[in-house]
Chain A
Amino acid sequence: MQRSLEPTPLLKADGIKKYFPVKRGFLQKTAGWIKAVDGVDIKIGKGKILGLVGESGCGKTTLGRLILKLLEPDDGRIFFNGDDLTDLTHKEMKSYRMQMQIIFQDPYGSLNPRMTVGNTIDEGVRLLKKNGRAHRKERIKELLSMVGLPGNVADRYPHEFSGGQRQRIGIARALSVEPELIVCDEPVSALDVSIQAQIINLLLKLRDELHLTYLFIAHDLNVVHFISDDLAVMYLGHIMEYGPSDTIYASPLHPYTKILMAAIPIPEPGAGKAFNPPEGDVPTPYNPPPGCKFQGRCPLVEDRCRQHEIDFYPTSDGRYVRCWKVI
């Protein structure tokens, strides 16, 4: 991709792929492949937020994990601050792990119920090796106050907190190693509207104060638009449309993006516009057809879409779209 967001983007992924084998039968022969991520290029500039949207099973979470090298990519390269991470061993990755963190969707399942909040956060603080014991305690308090929790909660256990508070603890844990990049995997999906707004504001505030960079994965398009600078729309392992999120929201180009946008329920009665839900179901990424991945549900489909791989075309307003019919 030739598009330049910044001189050196903090994170860059070039054509990364991840296929999972599907095994069948007694001998567990590989019967086919699930192409979870099938050649994805993304870039995130320092201090920016890239939103990643798509339906369930489109590969968003796999992509998030590939970027952190929690999964090994089958192909393609990953660069962090210009350094190639792709072939690093587990040991060599250690120093990078401190700079890249993740926040999970489920604030209930992602905290150890037997550890106090303080101990959970201390694990990260200790790794920095620059603080004595007394200092570490101060640092934990500081981290807790950064995420809007009182310092005295450090001695309590996760079950004593509500969902929103647990998500705050998860964020404090991610911040404990002073990372530059945080992958937020559906961080607000499990929360109620009023709490969701608190967490979104918190994430934006921390971005500004600590100059963080986020890859923000979510399926709620309203949330993603609100928070993100750039947007990538994913479908069956491919990115279908990519560019500044305001531009894409104002005028989606790819037929799939259009369908997604049209399906957002608008909280204004009567705005019920041409309420035309899309036909068809979310297909599985198991042995997808050749050609465009969206062909089965696309209203504009033609023979060419079924025969050829579709390129990623740049447009005049600074985005990329994987559809030859709309450019």
Chain B
Amino acid sequence: MEKDLLLSVNNLKVYFHGEETISKAVDGISYEVAKGQIVSLVGESGCGKTVSALTLLGLVPCPPGKIEDGEILFRGKNLLNFSEQQMQKVRGREISMVFQEPMTSLNPVFTIGDQIQEVILNHENVGKEIALKRTITLLKDVGIPSPEERVNDYPHLLSGGQRQRVMIAMALACGPDLVIADEPTTALDVTVQAQILQLFRELQQKRNMAVLLITHNLGVVAEIVDRIYVMYAGIIVETGTVKEVFKDPFHPYTMGLLAAIPGSSKKGKPLYSIPGSVPDSAYKPEGCPFNPRCPYVQDECKIKFPEMVNFKAGHQARCPITYRLWENQELPKNRHFGFENVKRAGQA
């Protein structure tokens, strides 16, 4: 089922050079986004998800950051070879970004109308009047009531949810093909979060644009995403359609993440928690980076870096151990609920 490929990232490596250490923030990741698809990079803080998104827009500060390897193909062209001038044409027009903090990413001394118009005037050869008209339409599209008046408001007059809507309007201003949303709902209340997710889904369907959603919230992912990439310590450990990955997680880290979400069906027992914490990106363990925290760990995991294994069509995970168990049908069924049975299976 090959869809129109919009973005394809191949073996991207972004390192940050410190005085004595090298932080391998992104250490060889590959992912693809098709036209009109919602794809998610999921992971905990420090796993490299934001850095990998900033790289797409050429926003990684360099130095200390350095792109060591890989390519970013956007419509077949490698963005890493673009000059700063060429990148400016891409940013906001073909790829745009929505940030986590709607409070700090709007400029407090300009009206929201000015800030949205700026995007249009910068990228397109249109007059101010047309830009204003389009701004009002955009505000209407993202669900701001009475946009004709609100267009002259300053950001402090808006609530958190409305500010995030303005950020989205700004991102959509030039009709980009890809919107990168970096934790767009983390700072919002649940009710507002639901509204914003709904808005993303509507806009994506209406405009047939692709969304790269970066988040740590698996609940959010399950609601709107088509395909998911689970990141850990700078690498992708599992990928598949959301349905597949949630139903049948194959990487022990994904299983752990799912098991750690508190839910009503898990009440009364201690919640499963992944022991230890995420390794420092400058001091990753040898072999599989997850091995010190993994309930399935074997000797080989401590020496050999695991390859991506194909479990099913379109569903891959970086774990040879669970693959062997799965082939022998020894992998427990409800493994997203905890590891009580799994531990025994792993050590056997």
Question: Do the two chains belong together in a single complex?
Answer: yes
Binding site for B on A (CB under 8 A): 55-56, 162, 164-165, 192-198, 200-201, 204-205, 219, 221-223, 225-227, 246, 249, 259-260, 262-272, 275, 277-278, 281-282
Give A104 to B189 CA distance when docked, in angstroms.
19
Query: Is B198 in contact with A268, judged by CB distance below 8 angstroms?
Result: no
CA–CA, A222 to B242, complex, Å?
20
Q: Contact: B246 with A193, CB < 8 Å? A: no
Interface residue? B192 (CB, 8 A): yes
Q: Do B256 and A194 touch across chains, with their CB atoms under 8 A apart?
A: yes
Q: Contact between A222 and B218 (Cβ–Cβ < 8 Å)?
A: no
Contact of A193 among B190, B198, B257 (CB under 8 A): B257
In the complex, identify which listed stretch (B94-102, B130-138, B203-211, B258-266) lies at the interface while the others stay far away: B258-266
5 nearest interchain CB pairs?
Answer: A265-B219, A226-B262, A197-B273, A277-B194, A194-B274
CB within 8 Å for A264 and B272 given contacts A221-B190, A278-B195: no
Please name the residue on chain B nearest to A54 by beta carbon: B189
19 A-B pairs in the complex with CB atoms less than 8 angstroms apart? A192-B44, A192-B278, A193-B261, A194-B256, A194-B260, A197-B271, A197-B274, A204-B270, A226-B262, A246-B264, A249-B264, A262-B194, A263-B191, A265-B193, A268-B222, A272-B222, A277-B195, A282-B159, A282-B192
| A266 to B192 CA separation, bound complex (whole angstroms) | 15
Q: How far is the CB of A96 from chain B (nearest CB, A)?
A: 32
Q: With A192-B45, A266-B223 given, is the CB distance from A281 to B162 under 8 Å? A: yes
Cβ contacts under 8 Å, A266 to chain B = 219, 222-223
Asked whether A282 lies within 8 Å of B191 as measured between CB atoms, the reply is: yes
Q: Is the CB of A226 within 8 A of B218?
A: no
Q: How far is the CA of A164 from the CA of B45 in the complex (A)?
A: 12
Chain B interface (Cβ < 8 Å from any Cβ of A): 44-45, 159-162, 189-195, 197-198, 216-223, 242-243, 246, 256-258, 260-264, 266-267, 270-275, 277-278
| CB <8 Å contact, B219 and A193 | no
The total of interchain contacts (Cβ-Cβ below 8 angstroms) comes to 128
Closest chain B residue to A280, Cβ basis: B191
A226 and B159 in contact, given A194-B273, A198-B273, A278-B191 (Cβ under 8 angstroms): no
**A165 vs B277: C-alpha distance in the bound complex, in angstroms?**
9
Please determine whether B262 and A225 come into contact, CB atoms closer than 8 angstroms: yes
Determine the main DSSP class of B at the interface with A: helix
Asked, given contacts A55-B189, A265-B194, A281-B161, whether A194 binds B219 with beta carbons under 8 Å apart, the answer is: no
Contacts of B258 in A (CB 8 A): 267
B271 & A200 in contact (Cβ 8 Å cutoff):
yes
Considering the chains assembled together, what is the distance between the CA atoms of A46 and B194 in angstroms?
36
13 additional contacts (CB under 8 A) given A192-B45, A193-B257, A194-B257 = A56-B189, A193-B218, A225-B262, A226-B262, A226-B266, A262-B194, A265-B217, A267-B221, A267-B222, A268-B246, A281-B159, A281-B162, A282-B192
- Asked if A226 and B267 sit within 8 Å, CB to CB, the answer is yes
Query: Are B219 and A269 within 8 A (Cβ)?
Result: no
Contact of A264 among B192, B218, B219 (CB under 8 A): B219
Taken together as a complex, chains A and B put the C-alpha atoms of A267 and B271 apart, in Å, by 15
**Within 8 Å CB of B191, what residues of A?**
55, 259-260, 263, 277-278, 282
Most chain A C-beta atoms within 10 Å of own C-beta, residue among B162, B271, B272: B271
Question: Among A201, A225, A262, A275, which residue has its beta carbon within 8 angstroms of that of B271?
Answer: A201
Residues of B within 8 A of A263 (CB): 190-191, 193-194
- Asked if A275 and B194 make an inter-chain contact with CB atoms under 8 angstroms apart, the answer reads yes
Closest A residue to B218 using CB positions: A267
- Residues from chain A with Cβ under 8 Å of B44 in the complex: 192-195
Q: Which residue of chain B has the shortest Cβ distance to A192 in the bound complex?
A: B44
Q: Chain B residue with minimal CB distance to A162?
A: B277
CB within 8 Å for A275 and B189 given contacts A198-B273, A269-B243: no
